[in-house]
């Protein structure tokens, strides 16, 4: 069957096997074919694409919950959406969440995902207590800080290359209502954007939407936002305390088909950015919103990836260490604006300290994520941006990547060598393999 991830590029022919039990993988395992785990396909590029993909989507059960401590054990195909539906009404929330709720917990661990609270609460690996992993040898390993520690660490950010996570235990976060109190400050340029982001550091959640098409004195102008969960005592008048923990049920729109290529051009992106920037008139705006609107605004439009047309798109997300943050971001944004390659969704966030896995993406600093339609110029341009990011000591996020070279990857991820040693012990026949891992040298090209 043909499959593709969120960027709709590349589209490949693969054999997709739904995991039910170890026996259901018999052909793949006994014939020693190469395989890679796959779940919701929300990674943008080719990390969940391979000759055989083992889908975790049948692993969708909640297994155990300690309502006193908020400790949940569930199967790895359970999504953030599933967790929100069941546990928000009980007063519990995911400790870290990416910008879409249509992501599985297995996929979240494999990418060691971060949210708007990374500067305060780290990535998902900081909240995972244990998981069970099916290795390429067909064994099931229990992994935690105490058991199989090395494999536990390697699996965070390991892009599925240590095996298939079957189930996991994580600690949820206590909340009193479904509301988020938000403050948005409109900034004039990048220096002010950084000032406000830094001033917002004490807040639990912070994020910024940046207009990457502006140059000169408006370069980096943004809407910088902070948010906090709202206590029961602060819920809006007229909402009864019994209804404070609701699951928003909104009308969702859908993009019905791939847009034609001409729909997306520098002018349409510029117009969108202009309107978005100016939709807030004053400098500061405060409001209460539900968690869906705050964390998952894009989920309101199903298949929004179709606006990039048939050729698809890629997201370039990188991080630059704190000390070089402003200078590095300025250089990248200047290059984008000069080439008129800006995109709609440019998100700037700050990261705190990170331990995580050997291939985890976050590091203390600032991260920027932007989408680009696939066309003849884009890969050359992103190679150029890689050089800039590297020169400031930064790196690119693997879960969004579809084109990084082995040489650049190794420079950006110095702990890749340690990761590979662990993978080679776990997978001596090099069976765990994705298009991405072959490209960046994390698996041998031994396709069977
Ligand atoms: C709109 C949007 C917003 C996003 N926002 C953020 C964000 O704010 N922060 C962030 O960090 N990420 C973000 N992401 C990226 C997303 O969180 C990750 O790509 C995540 O890994 C996708 O999970 P998935 O279930 O779709 O997995 P897939 O895309 O199917 O797979 C992703 C990777 O996980 C591996 N994998 C999947 N399931 C398992 C398993 N059971 N065991 C082992 N490995 C497995 C795959 O092999 C692959 O390498 C966003 C993506 C989208 C589309």
Match 């700037």 to its residue by tokens. 348
Indicate the number of domains in the chain: 1
Q: What integer pLDDT is reported at residue 149 of this predicted model?
A: 98
189 in a domain, yes or no?
Answer: yes
Q: Which residue segment(s) compose the domain that 354 sits in? A: 179-403
Query: Which of 3, 109, 111 to mutate for ligand 1's pocket (most ligand atoms within 8 Å of CB)?
Result: 111
25-62: pLDDT as tens digits? 878 888 889 999 999 999 999 999 999 999 999 999 99
In sequence order, the 6+-apart residues with CB closer than 8 A to the CB of 251 are none
From the CB of 164, is ligand 1 less than 6 Å away? yes
CA angle 40, 46, 49 (to 5 degrees): 65
Residue indicated by tokens 């005592």: 233
State the helix-helix crossing angle for 190-199 and 325-338, rounded to 10 degrees. 140
> Residue 327, class by beta-carbon neighbours within 10 Å (0-12 exposed, 13-18 middle, 19+ buried)?
exposed
The confidence score (pLDDT) of residue 313 equals 92
Our answer on whether the CB atom of 362 is closer than 6 Å to any ligand 1 atom is: no
Backbone torsions φ then ψ of 196, nearest 5 degrees: -70, -45
Q: Is 328 inside a domain boundary?
A: yes
pTM: 0.97
CA dihedral 385, 389, 392, 396 (to 10 degrees): 180
* Pick from 99, 9, 93: nearest CA to 300: 99
Decide which of 338 and 273 is more confident.
Answer: 338
48 Cβ closer than 6 Å to some ligand 1 atom: yes
Q: Is 329 in the pocket of ligand 1 (CB under 6 A)?
A: no
Q: How confident is the model at residue 369 (pLDDT cuts 50, 70, 90)?
A: very high
Ligand 1 within 6 A of CB of 165: yes
* Ligand 1 within 6 A of CB of 103: yes
Q: How far is the CA of 266 from the centre of ligand 1 (A)?
A: 29
pLDDT (tens digit per residue) in 104-120 = 999 999 999 999 999 99
Residue 318 lies inside a defined structural domain of this protein: yes
399: domain CATH number?
Answer: 3.30.70.2520
- Dist CA 207 CA 122 (whole Å): 14
Domain-located, residue 285? yes
Q: Please state, in angstroms and rounded to a whole number, the distance separating the CA atoms of residues 44 and 261.
A: 19
441 within some domain: no
Question: Has residue 375 been placed in a domain?
Answer: yes
In a domain, 419, yes or no: no
Among 5, 12, 38, 363, the mutation site with the greatest number of ligand 1 atoms within 8 A of its Cβ is 38
> Is 385 among the domain residues?
yes
For the residues 435-441, what does the mean pLDDT come to? 97
**Cα(39) to centroid(ligand 1), Å:** 8
279-303 burial, b for 16+ CB within 10 Å, e for fewer?
eeeeeeeeeebbbbebbbeebeeee
Residue 125 confidence (pLDDT) above 80? yes
- CA pseudo-torsion sign 379, 385, 390, 393: negative
CA of 85 to the centre of ligand 1 (A): 20
* Ligand 1 atom 11: residue of nearest CA: 113
Going by C-alpha positions, the residue among 33, 58, 36, 56 that lies closest to residue 47 is 36
Among 20, 57, 109, 110, name the best residue to mutate to test ligand 1's pocket (greatest count of ligand atoms within 8 A of Cβ). Answer: 110
């Amino acid at each position: 069957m043909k499959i593709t991830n969120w960027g709709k590029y590349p589209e490949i022919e693969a054999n997709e096997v739904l995991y039910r039990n170890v026996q259901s993988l018999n052909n793949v395992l006994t014939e020693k074919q190469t395989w890679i785990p796959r779940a919701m396909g929300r990674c943008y590029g080719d990390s969940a694409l391979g000759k055989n993909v083992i889908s975790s989507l049948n692993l969708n059960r909640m297994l155990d919950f300690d309502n006193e401590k908020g400790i949940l054990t569930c199967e790895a195909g359970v999504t953030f959406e599933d967790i929100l539906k069941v546990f928000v009404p009980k007063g519990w929330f995911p400790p870290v969440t990416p910008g879409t709720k249509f992501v599985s917990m297995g996929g979240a661990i494999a990418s060691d995902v971060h949210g708007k609270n990374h500067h305060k609460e780290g990535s998902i690996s900081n909240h995972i207590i244990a998981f069970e992993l099916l290795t390429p040898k067909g064994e099931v390993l229990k992994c935690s800080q105490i058991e199989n520690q090395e494999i536990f660490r390697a699996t965070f950010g390991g892009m599925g290359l240590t095996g298939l996570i079957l189930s996991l235990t994580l600690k949820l976060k206590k909340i009193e209502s479904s509301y988020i109190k938000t403050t948005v400050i409109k900034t004039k340029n990048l220096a002010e954007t950084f000032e406000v982001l830094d001033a917002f550091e004490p807040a639990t959640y912070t994020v910024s939407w940046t207009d990457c098409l502006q140059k000169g004195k408006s370069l980096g102008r943004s809407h910088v936002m902070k948010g906090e969960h709202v206590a029961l005592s602060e819920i809006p008048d007229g909402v009864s305390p019994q209804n404070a923990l609701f699951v928003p049920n909104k009308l969702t729109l859908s993009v019905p088909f791939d847009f034609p290529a001409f729909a997306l051009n520098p002018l349409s992106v510029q117009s969108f950015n202009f309107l978005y920037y100016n939709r807030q008139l004053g400098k500061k705006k405060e409001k209460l919103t539900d968690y869906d609107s705050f964390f998952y605004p894009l989920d309101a439009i199903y298949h929004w990836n179709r606006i990039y047309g048939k050729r698809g798109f890629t997201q370039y997300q990188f991080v630059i260490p704190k000390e070089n943050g402003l200078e590095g971001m300025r250089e990248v944004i200047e290059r984008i604006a000069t080439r008129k390659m800006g995109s709609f969704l440019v998100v700037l966030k700050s990261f705190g300290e990170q331990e995580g896995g050997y291939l985890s993406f976050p590091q203390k600093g600032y991260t920027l994520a932007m989408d680009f339609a696939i066309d003849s110029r884009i890969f050359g341009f992103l190679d150029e941006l890689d050089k800039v990011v590297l020169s400031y000591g930064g790196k690119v996020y693997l879960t969004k990547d579809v084109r990084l070279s082995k040489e650049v990857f190794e420079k950006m991820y110095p702990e890749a060598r340690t990761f590979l040693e662990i993978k080679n012990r776990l997978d001596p026949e090099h069976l765990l393999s994705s298009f991405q891992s072959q490209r960046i040298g994390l698996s041998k090209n031994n396709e069977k």
